[in-house]
Amino acid sequence: MQAFYVLATEDYRQLAAARDWAKDLRAHTLDGRIRLLDVACGSGRFPAALLAKGLPARPRVGVDLLDPSGFSIAEARAALDTPFVGEGEHEVFLQDFRIESAYDVAWATHALYALPPADLAAGVARMVAALRPGGFGVVAQACSRSHYLAFYEAYRATFAPDVTPYTDAEGVADALRTAGVRPTVAPLRYTTGTADRGVVEGFLQRCAFDDTVSLERMEADGPLAEYLAGCRSADGTYTFSHEAHLMTWENT
Protein backbone atom coordinates (compact mmCIF):
# COMPACT_ATOMS: atom_id res chain seq x y z
CA MET A 1 0.00 0.00 0.00
CA GLN A 2 2.85 2.39 0.79
CA ALA A 3 4.33 1.87 -2.69
CA PHE A 4 0.89 2.26 -4.26
CA TYR A 5 0.26 5.63 -2.66
CA VAL A 6 3.66 6.99 -3.71
CA LEU A 7 1.93 7.37 -7.09
CA ALA A 8 -1.79 7.06 -6.37
CA THR A 9 -1.87 10.01 -3.96
CA GLU A 10 -1.76 12.16 -7.10
CA ASP A 11 -5.28 10.94 -7.95
CA TYR A 12 -6.60 12.69 -4.86
CA ARG A 13 -4.46 15.81 -5.30
CA GLN A 14 -5.95 16.21 -8.75
CA LEU A 15 -9.47 15.84 -7.37
CA ALA A 16 -8.82 18.28 -4.54
CA ALA A 17 -7.65 20.89 -7.06
CA ALA A 18 -10.49 20.30 -9.52
CA ARG A 19 -13.25 22.25 -7.72
CA ASP A 20 -13.91 24.71 -4.93
CA TRP A 21 -14.92 21.96 -2.52
CA ALA A 22 -15.33 24.37 0.39
CA LYS A 23 -17.94 26.24 -1.65
CA ASP A 24 -19.65 22.96 -2.59
CA LEU A 25 -19.87 21.93 1.06
CA ARG A 26 -21.15 25.32 2.22
CA ALA A 27 -23.81 25.27 -0.50
CA HIS A 28 -25.20 21.99 0.82
CA THR A 29 -25.18 22.77 4.52
CA LEU A 30 -28.45 22.06 6.30
CA ASP A 31 -29.16 23.28 9.85
CA GLY A 32 -25.58 24.43 10.26
CA ARG A 33 -23.91 21.12 9.44
CA ILE A 34 -23.36 18.59 6.67
CA ARG A 35 -24.08 14.87 6.65
CA LEU A 36 -21.69 13.11 4.27
CA LEU A 37 -21.73 9.52 3.03
CA ASP A 38 -18.22 8.42 1.99
CA VAL A 39 -18.90 5.48 -0.34
CA ALA A 40 -16.20 2.79 -0.45
CA CYS A 41 -14.17 5.07 1.78
CA GLY A 42 -10.93 3.10 1.46
CA SER A 43 -8.18 4.67 3.55
CA GLY A 44 -9.62 8.20 3.59
CA ARG A 45 -7.26 9.71 1.01
CA PHE A 46 -9.74 12.19 -0.45
CA PRO A 47 -10.65 13.93 2.84
CA ALA A 48 -6.93 13.96 3.62
CA ALA A 49 -6.21 15.66 0.28
CA LEU A 50 -8.86 18.29 0.97
CA LEU A 51 -7.35 18.96 4.38
CA ALA A 52 -3.87 19.26 2.86
CA LYS A 53 -5.26 21.84 0.42
CA GLY A 54 -6.57 23.93 3.32
CA LEU A 55 -10.26 23.06 3.68
CA PRO A 56 -11.79 25.46 6.26
CA ALA A 57 -12.74 24.23 9.71
CA ARG A 58 -16.40 25.15 9.20
CA PRO A 59 -19.02 23.95 8.50
CA ARG A 60 -18.82 20.71 10.46
CA VAL A 61 -19.00 17.61 8.26
CA GLY A 62 -20.35 14.49 9.96
CA VAL A 63 -19.07 11.51 7.97
CA ASP A 64 -20.68 8.10 7.62
CA LEU A 65 -18.08 5.64 6.32
CA LEU A 66 -19.25 2.86 4.00
CA ASP A 67 -16.96 0.05 2.90
CA PRO A 68 -17.12 -3.76 2.81
CA SER A 69 -13.78 -3.80 4.69
CA GLY A 70 -13.73 -3.07 8.41
CA PHE A 71 -10.00 -2.42 8.13
CA SER A 72 -10.60 0.29 5.53
CA ILE A 73 -13.27 1.92 7.68
CA ALA A 74 -10.83 2.08 10.60
CA GLU A 75 -8.11 3.54 8.36
CA ALA A 76 -10.49 6.15 6.94
CA ARG A 77 -11.75 7.16 10.38
CA ALA A 78 -8.17 7.65 11.59
CA ALA A 79 -7.49 10.00 8.64
CA LEU A 80 -10.37 12.35 9.48
CA ASP A 81 -9.71 15.74 11.05
CA THR A 82 -11.64 18.99 11.44
CA PRO A 83 -14.06 19.75 9.83
CA PHE A 84 -14.61 16.01 9.23
CA VAL A 85 -16.00 14.07 12.18
CA GLY A 86 -16.51 10.33 11.95
CA GLU A 87 -20.05 9.22 12.79
CA GLY A 88 -21.73 6.13 11.35
CA GLU A 89 -19.96 3.03 10.06
CA HIS A 90 -21.46 0.71 7.45
CA GLU A 91 -19.42 -2.43 6.76
CA VAL A 92 -21.41 -3.47 3.72
CA PHE A 93 -21.35 -3.54 -0.07
CA LEU A 94 -22.90 -0.43 -1.60
CA GLN A 95 -25.63 -2.39 -3.38
CA ASP A 96 -26.68 -3.86 0.00
CA PHE A 97 -26.66 -0.55 1.91
CA ARG A 98 -29.85 0.04 3.92
CA ILE A 99 -30.64 3.75 3.84
CA GLU A 100 -31.88 4.93 7.24
CA SER A 101 -31.57 8.71 6.75
CA ALA A 102 -30.83 11.12 3.91
CA TYR A 103 -27.43 12.73 3.33
CA ASP A 104 -26.51 16.22 2.18
CA VAL A 105 -23.45 14.99 0.27
CA ALA A 106 -22.39 11.56 -1.00
CA TRP A 107 -19.12 10.88 -2.77
CA ALA A 108 -17.23 7.91 -4.18
CA THR A 109 -13.68 8.88 -5.18
CA HIS A 110 -11.74 6.25 -7.14
CA ALA A 111 -13.88 3.81 -5.21
CA LEU A 112 -16.16 1.81 -7.50
CA TYR A 113 -13.70 -0.18 -9.64
CA ALA A 114 -14.43 -3.49 -7.92
CA LEU A 115 -18.22 -3.07 -8.04
CA PRO A 116 -19.18 -5.94 -10.39
CA PRO A 117 -20.94 -4.93 -13.62
CA ALA A 118 -23.98 -6.97 -12.60
CA ASP A 119 -24.30 -4.93 -9.38
CA LEU A 120 -23.32 -1.51 -10.74
CA ALA A 121 -26.82 -0.21 -11.47
CA ALA A 122 -28.13 -1.30 -8.05
CA GLY A 123 -25.12 0.15 -6.24
CA VAL A 124 -25.27 3.51 -7.99
CA ALA A 125 -29.04 3.67 -7.44
CA ARG A 126 -28.43 3.16 -3.70
CA MET A 127 -25.98 6.06 -3.67
CA VAL A 128 -28.39 8.35 -5.52
CA ALA A 129 -31.27 7.34 -3.22
CA ALA A 130 -29.18 8.12 -0.13
CA LEU A 131 -29.15 11.85 -0.98
CA ARG A 132 -31.83 14.24 0.22
CA PRO A 133 -33.59 16.43 -2.37
CA GLY A 134 -31.04 19.06 -3.32
CA GLY A 135 -28.19 16.89 -2.06
CA PHE A 136 -24.83 16.87 -3.83
CA GLY A 137 -23.42 13.71 -5.42
CA VAL A 138 -19.86 13.08 -6.59
CA VAL A 139 -18.19 10.14 -8.32
CA ALA A 140 -14.59 10.23 -9.55
CA GLN A 141 -13.66 7.23 -11.68
CA ALA A 142 -11.01 6.44 -14.28
CA CYS A 143 -12.31 6.02 -17.83
CA SER A 144 -11.75 2.94 -19.97
CA ARG A 145 -8.60 4.30 -21.67
CA SER A 146 -6.97 5.39 -18.40
CA HIS A 147 -4.10 3.46 -16.79
CA TYR A 148 -6.12 1.65 -14.11
CA LEU A 149 -8.55 0.16 -16.62
CA ALA A 150 -6.08 -0.43 -19.46
CA PHE A 151 -3.58 -2.07 -17.11
CA TYR A 152 -6.20 -4.30 -15.52
CA GLU A 153 -7.51 -5.50 -18.87
CA ALA A 154 -3.94 -6.40 -19.92
CA TYR A 155 -3.38 -8.12 -16.55
CA ARG A 156 -6.59 -10.14 -16.94
CA ALA A 157 -5.68 -11.19 -20.45
CA THR A 158 -2.22 -12.34 -19.33
CA PHE A 159 -2.72 -13.81 -15.86
CA ALA A 160 -6.38 -13.97 -14.79
CA PRO A 161 -8.89 -14.21 -17.65
CA ASP A 162 -11.70 -15.34 -15.35
CA VAL A 163 -11.59 -12.44 -12.87
CA THR A 164 -14.29 -9.77 -13.02
CA PRO A 165 -13.32 -6.67 -15.02
CA TYR A 166 -13.11 -3.28 -13.36
CA THR A 167 -15.97 -0.80 -13.66
CA ASP A 168 -15.06 2.27 -15.72
CA ALA A 169 -16.31 5.86 -15.65
CA GLU A 170 -18.44 5.30 -18.74
CA GLY A 171 -20.30 2.50 -16.97
CA VAL A 172 -20.84 4.63 -13.88
CA ALA A 173 -22.22 7.49 -15.98
CA ASP A 174 -24.67 5.10 -17.66
CA ALA A 175 -25.76 3.78 -14.25
CA LEU A 176 -26.30 7.34 -12.99
CA ARG A 177 -28.49 8.12 -15.98
CA THR A 178 -30.46 4.93 -15.39
CA ALA A 179 -30.99 6.12 -11.80
CA GLY A 180 -32.46 9.38 -13.12
CA VAL A 181 -29.35 11.55 -12.75
CA ARG A 182 -27.79 13.70 -15.48
CA PRO A 183 -24.26 14.25 -14.16
CA THR A 184 -21.90 17.01 -15.18
CA VAL A 185 -18.70 15.28 -16.32
CA ALA A 186 -15.28 16.97 -16.06
CA PRO A 187 -12.28 14.98 -17.43
CA LEU A 188 -9.05 15.21 -15.41
CA ARG A 189 -5.90 14.23 -17.35
CA TYR A 190 -2.50 13.78 -15.70
CA THR A 191 0.44 11.40 -15.43
CA THR A 192 2.31 9.66 -12.64
CA GLY A 193 5.63 7.90 -12.82
CA THR A 194 8.92 6.82 -11.30
CA ALA A 195 12.18 5.04 -12.08
CA ASP A 196 12.04 3.16 -8.75
CA ARG A 197 11.25 -0.43 -9.69
CA GLY A 198 10.19 -1.31 -6.15
CA VAL A 199 7.58 1.45 -6.23
CA VAL A 200 6.45 0.42 -9.72
CA GLU A 201 6.04 -3.20 -8.64
CA GLY A 202 4.07 -2.35 -5.51
CA PHE A 203 1.91 0.13 -7.40
CA LEU A 204 1.06 -2.33 -10.16
CA GLN A 205 0.45 -5.22 -7.77
CA ARG A 206 -2.07 -3.06 -5.93
CA CYS A 207 -3.65 -2.01 -9.24
CA ALA A 208 -4.22 -5.73 -9.89
CA PHE A 209 -4.97 -6.67 -6.26
CA ASP A 210 -2.41 -9.42 -6.81
CA ASP A 211 0.95 -9.40 -5.03
CA THR A 212 1.98 -12.81 -6.39
CA VAL A 213 3.09 -11.50 -9.80
CA SER A 214 6.46 -9.75 -9.80
CA LEU A 215 7.30 -6.82 -12.04
CA GLU A 216 9.72 -9.06 -13.93
CA ARG A 217 6.88 -11.49 -14.76
CA MET A 218 4.61 -8.62 -15.77
CA GLU A 219 7.30 -7.40 -18.19
CA ALA A 220 8.03 -10.83 -19.62
CA ASP A 221 5.23 -11.79 -21.97
CA GLY A 222 1.72 -11.34 -23.24
CA PRO A 223 -0.61 -8.31 -23.43
CA LEU A 224 0.59 -7.01 -20.06
CA ALA A 225 4.22 -6.93 -21.19
CA GLU A 226 3.14 -5.08 -24.32
CA TYR A 227 1.17 -2.55 -22.29
CA LEU A 228 4.03 -1.93 -19.86
CA ALA A 229 6.54 -1.53 -22.67
CA GLY A 230 4.46 1.40 -23.85
CA CYS A 231 4.72 2.98 -20.40
CA ARG A 232 8.51 2.50 -20.07
CA SER A 233 11.16 4.87 -21.46
CA ALA A 234 14.65 3.84 -22.59
CA ASP A 235 16.15 4.66 -19.19
CA GLY A 236 13.63 2.42 -17.40
CA THR A 237 11.39 5.19 -16.09
CA TYR A 238 7.70 4.33 -16.03
CA THR A 239 5.03 6.92 -16.86
CA PHE A 240 1.35 6.10 -16.46
CA SER A 241 -1.35 8.15 -18.19
CA HIS A 242 -4.58 8.81 -16.34
CA GLU A 243 -7.97 10.23 -17.27
CA ALA A 244 -10.48 10.41 -14.45
CA HIS A 245 -14.02 11.62 -14.98
CA LEU A 246 -15.32 13.80 -12.16
CA MET A 247 -19.10 13.39 -12.19
CA THR A 248 -21.25 15.70 -10.08
CA TRP A 249 -24.99 16.23 -9.70
CA GLU A 250 -27.68 17.63 -7.44
CA ASN A 251 -30.54 15.38 -6.46
CA THR A 252 -33.81 16.72 -7.75
Comparing C-alpha atoms, which of 102, 95, 172 is closest to residue 126? 95
Q: Does some domain include residue 175?
A: yes
Tell me the chain's radius of gyration from C-alpha atoms: 18
| Residue 106 predicted with pLDDT over 90 | yes
Report the pLDDT value the prediction gives residue 85, as an integer from 0 to 100: 98
Report the pLDDT value the prediction gives residue 81, as an integer from 0 to 100: 97
Q: Does some domain include residue 129?
A: yes
Q: What is the CATH number of the domain that holds 124?
A: 3.40.50.150
Q: What is the mean pLDDT of residues 156-175?
A: 97
Q: Does some domain include residue 202?
A: no
Q: What angle do CA 17, 18, 24 make, to 5 degrees?
A: 100
Q: 69-98 in b/e burial notation, b at 16+ Cβ within 10 A?
A: eeebbbbbbebbeebbebeebbeebbbebe
Q: Does some domain include residue 232?
A: no
| Residue 120 predicted with pLDDT over 80 | yes
Residue scoring higher pLDDT (252 or 228): 228
Beta-carbon neighbour count of residue 180 at 10 Å?
12
First to last CA, the chain: 39
Q: How confident is the model at residue 252 (pLDDT cuts 50, 70, 90)?
A: confident
Q: Does some domain include residue 214?
A: no
| Residue 22 predicted with pLDDT over 80 | yes
Domains identified in the chain, total number: 1
pLDDT tens-place string over residues 178-229: 999 999 999 999 999 999 999 999 999 999 999 999 999 999 989 999 999 9
pLDDT tens-place string over residues 127-165: 999 999 999 999 999 999 999 999 999 999 999 999 999
Report the pLDDT value the prediction gives residue 58, as an integer from 0 to 100: 94
Report the pLDDT value the prediction gives residue 2, as an integer from 0 to 100: 84
Instruction: Give me the domain span that covers residue 10.
Output: 2-142+164-190+242-250
Asked which of 17-21, 57-61, 114-118, 153-157 is least confident by mean pLDDT, the reply is 114-118
Q: How many residues does the chain have?
A: 252
Using an 8 Å Cβ cutoff, are 87 and 62 in contact? yes
Q: How far apart are CA 224 and CA 175, in angstroms?
A: 29
Q: What is the mean pLDDT of residues 72-92?
A: 97
Q: How confident is the model at residue 102 (pLDDT cuts 50, 70, 90)?
A: very high
Q: 166-175 in b/e burial notation, b at 16+ Cβ within 10 A?
A: bbbbebbbeb
